[in-house]
Each structure stands twice: as C-alpha cells, then as structure tokens.
Amino acid sequence: MAADHVAGQVRALYRRLVSAYGPQGWWPVHGGYHPGDYDTPATPAARFEVIMGAVLTQNTAWANAAAALAELRGAGIRLPAHVLAAPRARLARLVRSSGYFNEKARKLAEVAGFFSRRGALGSAAAPARDHLLSLWGVGPETADSILLYAFQRPVFVVDAYTRRILARIGLIEGREPYDEIQAVFHRSLRHRVPLFNEYHALIVEHAKRHCAARPACEGCPVTSCRYRDTLPDRRP
C-alpha cells in the first residue's frame, strides 16, 4: 500500500474519531481526565502516578489499575521513595485489583528504583527509551506510555486496540511487530504531543464503544472497515 495512501487513511481515521468522541483528556491522574490540558502531569507525584499506572494497566482494564492506584494513594505511596520503603508483600496486597499483583509489585519496585536513582521526576526531563526498556517488566507499550503521558514526549503508543482497529480497516495485517505499527503513525502524522495523546486515547475509546473483540458495528463512525464489510446486510 502506497505510503501517501496509508498516511491519508491514518489522518482520516483520526478526524472521524475526534469528531465522534471529542477530546479525551488523557492520562487520567488523581482528579480525573483533563481535556485540552496537555501539560498534566506537572508535579513529581502526578508524574509518578502516570508511571505506576502504565505498569498497573498491563494485561488488565484501566478500571482495575485505577482501583490499585487509589489503594496506593490511600496508603500514602505516591513517589519512588514510598514504593521502595514499602514491603513487597504490602505492595502486592495494595495492587491486587490490577491482577498479577506479585509481578506488578516487583515491576513497581523496579521502576521506582530507576527513577529514584535518576532523581529527575521534578522536571520534564525524559529518560531514554532504551533505559526504560532495560527495566524488568517494561516493554515498548509501557515505555512509550511513560514517555508520552508522564513526560510529554511525542511517541505514539501502540496497544492491542490499535492493532485490532488498523487491521480491521486494512492498514496492517495485524501480526506486525510493535515498532513497525508505531512507524505507521510516526510517518503519517506530525510529531506533536497533543495529537499523539488524543489519537491513542480516541483509539481506546473507540475500541470500548464499538471495536471490541466482538464488535458493535451499529452506529460505528468508521465506515472503511473490512470486518463490517463481511457482515450480512440486515436491511429489509
């Protein structure tokens, strides 16, 4: 597929999604969503909350990760030093709602150790992506979520929803590696934090409303979908 055609499709998809759902205001930090505000988070605690959320939302719904974050906040665990001071078993109990809680407690300790040694949460100075990827339990999606949402760096986050939606509209096959799918967005869009922020959030919203594993095609704003084209015509 020609690069210009792909870029046009990527941009058209964004226009359809933002027209259908409006600004999303991601990443949700304590206090909720913040449409139009792309400077959040701006404090060490809020930045680290995004980092912890990026770990806790692995392999679970955001509601489960948010419940775990609420438990951590209630226990006064808001900064790397707090995580490192907490016994691992206590951390695991606090994040139980996010699933795989023993592993996630270890991952939180790993990222807390990294940012404690780095000592830069008070500024927007972003860590190197390779350094994040070197941490146990941090893959590309988690690393890029940290860079985009905690440090406002223009990297596109690819998740399972992105892969599903792009495959259904015919822009990818669906089995491509993470970096190859990410490159589709990086080649097609201006590298701007608000754009990458909103686009990824809109993809998640669209997947929740329409493009689930068993899609709800009625009322879907995305008309160029190979999946919908295979459905029987139910008109009288």
Digit-coded pLDDT (tens) for 110-143 = 999 999 998 768 766 899 999 999 999 999 999 9
Question: Helix (H, G, I), strand (E, B), or coil: what is residue 179?
Answer: helix
pLDDT in tens, 17-68: 999 999 999 999 887 899 989 888 989 999 999 999 999 999 999 999 999 9
Cα–Cα distance, 6 to 9 (Å, whole number)? 5
- Domain boundaries of the chain, sorted by first residue: 1-39+157-236, 44-150
1-39+157-236 CATH: 1.10.1670.10
Q: Which residues of 21-60 are buried (b: 16+ CB within 10 A; e: fewer)?
A: eebbbbbbbeeeebeeebebbeebebbbbbbbbbbbbbeb
Cis check: omega of the bond before 136, within 30 degrees of 0: no
Entry pTM: 0.93
Identical fold, 1-39+157-236 and 44-150: no
Q: Which two tokens stand for residue 216?
A: 């709800």
Convert the pLDDT of each residue in 161-180 to its tens digit: 999 999 999 999 999 999 99
pLDDT band at 227, cuts 50/70/90? confident
40-49, 52-61, 185-194, 197-206: least confident range: 40-49
The pLDDT value given to residue 225 = 84
What would be the CATH architecture of the domain defined by 44-150?
A: Orthogonal Bundle (1.10)
Q: State how far the Cα of 90 lies from the Cα of 196, in Å rounded to an integer.
A: 36
Structure tokens of 34? 């913040």
Residue 236 pLDDT > 50, yes or no? no
Give the residues across from 32 on adjacent strands: 29
